Amino acid sequence: MYILNYHYKNKIHLKNFLQKNHIKNSNKLFIQILHTGKDLKKVLKIKDFLERIFSKASILGTVSSGIISNEEIIDDDIIISFSIFKASKTLSKGYKNIDLEDILNDLSQNIIKSNTKLLIAFTNVFAFDSSNFLMKLNEKFPNLVIAGGNTGNYYEQINPNIFTKDILDCDLVVTTINSDVLEVKTDYLFNWETIGEEMIITKSDKATVYTIDNKKAINVYKEYLGDEITSNLLENAGQFPLIYTDSNVEIARGIIDYDNENGSITFAGEIPQKKKVKFGFANIDSIKLHNKQKLLSLYKNKQEGVFIYSCAARREMLGTYFEKEMKILNCLGPSSGLVLFGEFFHNKTCNCNNLLNITSTFVTLNEKELEEEISFKDIKIKTSKKDIKLNALTNLIKKTSEKLDENNYYLKQFKELVEESSIYSTTNEMGEITYVNENFEKSSGFSRKELIGQNHNLVRHPENKSSQFINLWETISKGKTWHGLIKNKRKDGSSYHVLSDIAPIYYKNGDFREYLGIRHDVTELEEYKILLKYELDNTSKTLADNLNYTKQYENAVNTSVAIIKIDKNLIITYTNDKFLELTQYKEDELLGLSWDKLLDIKHKNNGDFENISKRLNEGEVVNYILNKVGKNGETFITRSNFYPITNLKNETIEYINVLTDVTDIFNLNEEITNTQKEVVFTMGAIGETRSQETGLHVKRVAEYSYLLAILSGLSEEDANLLRQASPMHDIGKVGIPDNILNKPGVLTPEEFEIMKTHAQLGYEMLKHSKREILKASAIVAREHHEKWDGSGYPRGLKGENIHIYGRITAIADVFDALGHDRIYKKAWPLEDIYKLLKEEKGKHFDPNLIDVFFNNLDKFLEIKELLDD
């Protein structure tokens, strides 16, 4: 195939052109009569003339705000473009005042064939909904390539007068090219860039946008482009379209109409409601660079023909460079086309149709492959002063926009980091909640919808003192940050504690914007403190002096978040005040220092530092508990979260290290464990004291149990837990009457039944605790009188159904009890004790444990000698 463009002069000249080029009447001929609407009568006479000569050809005509003829752009004359195919047939039809469904049915039945490679469509921009047409057409023919666009002249309000041989002033004309050999490719040049903040279309109806970010659309243009912009919005703002993304295609929408009365703007194509948009601008340098690069990536050899459909707003914005862009496209092959008000494009990647704006859309056609390679000759266009100024302006906009985007991207990551690691909310000046993050919803049990517009009193616990909130409001009202612990109430009525930082946020001009609250859940710490106090209060009055130290933990909640920034070489580039407070260093002492200099040496020796560095280098988010060493040489413990910060190219530029000082929590856990040990031992001692036995019995049983556990293969952790729990084996005796517990003689059967209840009593006292030590103590208390053969009490368990803790403590308790005086008996000789243990092997006692005991008897005797009464 090939394209011939004829610049109309007169009928005789046209006849000579046709004869000279041997153009014949055929259904393989596609004729386009392209004009600018200046002399419609002349155009129609040309149509009639051509129709008489080429009755078999497809003929259509349309108005354009610019005609593309090879390298030229024609504004005032008539161009007749002849597309002459050798192996492809063409078919045209026009539609006027016909329902869309009827159009689609007719296309399906009579126009579009199984071998249709391309459908060219032109619509009346004033009378036809092209967006809906493209969508419905795509539903019926998802693989069909479409090109063309909206014709007419919005700037001068010139009706497009599109026509075919049969129908004038159509709403829609189509031409199909049907072939078994034709190769069709379509793409577009855009390269507009976005600038400014992302906005949301909050109210729209097809192509008319009423509000953006809940503001009138015209007012948004005024806000960003100046008040004078609306004096002639079409002329002044057309170069700043709105841009959004659909199916990975950037779509621009230029202004074609507006209504000052209701503040709406109509664009050259639909912008769906809730779409995120940005303003766009033309970066001339970027367009120059990327146009050639894109074409070279798509094509190696010349094409037989090129149809070009470009946008009037693009032409207006690019100035003289638009001529160069057309010349570049013509390097692909002979071309013809139009300047339109919306370009049709079929995206083969997702098989969807798009109505584009501000692009140069093009279609290349080949019936056979050409061998001539593409070459972009040096195209020189005279540049005006206006173009030079425009180029400088767009460069300035680009650099400013890049910096703004980078800062916004960085701030977005920073905000996401804070939101992810804290309970976050904002309020207005009246204290009404305007935003909460997901962590706030999870912690409170309330949904975002339930919280927005409410006061934080909704979640505050009634136990909080009113004076605390008076102080809070006084502090933040003065522009300062308030720090403190607040007890909150969840939706289900349960309570939780948050360490809070609340501060006012201001605009650059000093006006109030909002109050910001960042919180960290410290409920577990507070519950530990409360539980510890409860358990100690209920143990014994003899422990009263020990309870005083719980007050030391009241300050443990006064923790805060420290932040440092580290470059890719792990050098500290920033520290906040909290980090300086933690480390006792000054800022200038830390900046430029390698991050690992503050790390405890153990993390280097055990490979932690190497592992963190490796994972950071791979772009991971890293969480670690790390020991740090401050300036004074003291070690503190931190929960350290490392977050890679990336630029727009997803390249890591630095790391943010968020540290929470958990030293007090770790110390508290250690204190709690030690206190629990003391509680367990003291309670065990109390139980033994009631039966007039010494506290050394529980110590010996604890050590025997630990040794036997280790020797029988239990882990150090489990063995140590048993050592801590076993002193409570007889705690249930506190519930046995003294006349039975301290009876010097043999108990009656009835009295023994009462005595046996101490095992279950001990379990009932301890079973509700969630602490590991007391849970283990409950097991020991209930099961240390169970016997291997099932004859024990209280439940008659047998064999390995008896917990290993119970089986071990049974041996330790009997071995120690028989070897010491009791109120009802004298101490047995060791040989008699050994004899009993061996006789009860497999009956009372676990046979394997008895073997372990006798194989290591010397170690048990060392403990007996060391802790003897």
Q: For the segment 48-66, what is each residue's pLDDT rounded down to a tens digit?
A: 999 999 999 999 999 988 9
Q: Where are the domains of the chain?
A: 2-189+287-366, 192-282, 422-521, 560-661, 667-866
In 3D, which of 194, 178, 196, 291 has the Cα closest to residue 241? Answer: 194
pTM above 0.75, yes or no: no
What is the rounded distance in angstroms from the CA atom of residue 648 to the CA atom of residue 497? 38
Fold of 422-521: Beta-Lactamase (3.30.450)
SS3 sequence, 14-60? HHHHHHHCCCCCCCCEEEEEEECCCCHHHHHHHHHHHHHHCCCCEEE
Helix (H) or strand (E) holding 424: strand 423-427
Going by the DSSP 8-state scheme, the letter that residue 228 receives in this structure is: G
The tokens describing 495, both together, are: 């309570």
CB 460 within 8 A of CB 489: yes
Can you give the pLDDT at residue 836? 94
Tell whether the model's pLDDT for residue 508 goes beyond 90.
no
What is the rounded distance in angstroms from the CA atom of residue 44 to the CA atom of residue 32? 12
Q: Which tens digit of pLDDT belongs to each residue from 72-122? A: 999 889 999 999 999 999 999 999 999 999 999 999 999 999 999 999 999
The tokens describing 85, both together, are: 């195919």
**CB crowding 158-169: b at 16 or more within 10 Å, else e:** bbbbbbbbeeee
What is the rounded distance in angstroms from the CA atom of residue 464 to the CA atom of residue 448? 24
Can you give the pLDDT at residue 664? 77
The yes-or-no answer to whether 422-521 and 560-661 have a common fold is: yes
For the structural domain made of 192-282, what CATH number should be given? Answer: 2.40.10
| Average pLDDT, integer, range 334-355 | 92
In 273-359, the DSSP E strands lie at 276-282, 305-311, 335-340, 343-347, 352-356
User: Based on C-alpha coordinates, what's the Rg of the chain?
Assistant: 43
In 79-236, the DSSP E strands lie at 79-84, 88-95, 116-124, 146-151, 163-164, 172-179, 183-189, 192-205, 208-212, 215-216
Looking at the DSSP assignment, which residues form a beta bridge with residue 68? Answer: 73, 337
Can you give the pLDDT at residue 552? 38
Fold of 667-866: Hypothetical protein af1432 (1.10.3210)
The tokens describing 625, both together, are: 């508990």
What is the rounded distance in angstroms from the CA atom of residue 616 to the CA atom of residue 606? 18
If pLDDT is split at 50, 70 and 90, which confidence band does 674 have?
low
Can you give the pLDDT at residue 316? 82
Can you give the pLDDT at residue 558? 33
Q: Which tens digit of pLDDT belongs to each residue from 475-507? A: 999 999 999 999 999 999 999 999 899 999 988
Can you give the pLDDT at residue 554? 34
Each as own residue / partner, the long-range contacts of residues 745-750 (CB below 8 Å, 24 or more positions apart, any chain) are 745/824, 746/824
> How wide is the angle at C-alpha 171 spanned by C-alphas 170 and 175, nearest 5°?
75
The tokens describing 41, both together, are: 């009568």
Q: Which tens digit of pLDDT belongs to each residue from 153-164? A: 666 666 778 999
What is the rounded distance in angstroms from the CA atom of residue 806 to the CA atom of residue 803? 5
Poorest-confidence range of 165-174, 247-256, 358-367, 544-553? 544-553
For the structural domain made of 560-661, what CATH number should be given? Answer: 3.30.450.20
User: What amino acid occupies position 583?
Assistant: T
What is the rounded distance in angstroms from the CA atom of residue 589 to the CA atom of residue 582? 14
The tokens describing 44, both together, are: 């129609």
Helix (H) or strand (E) holding 302: none
Going by the DSSP 8-state scheme, the letter that residue 110 receives in this structure is: I
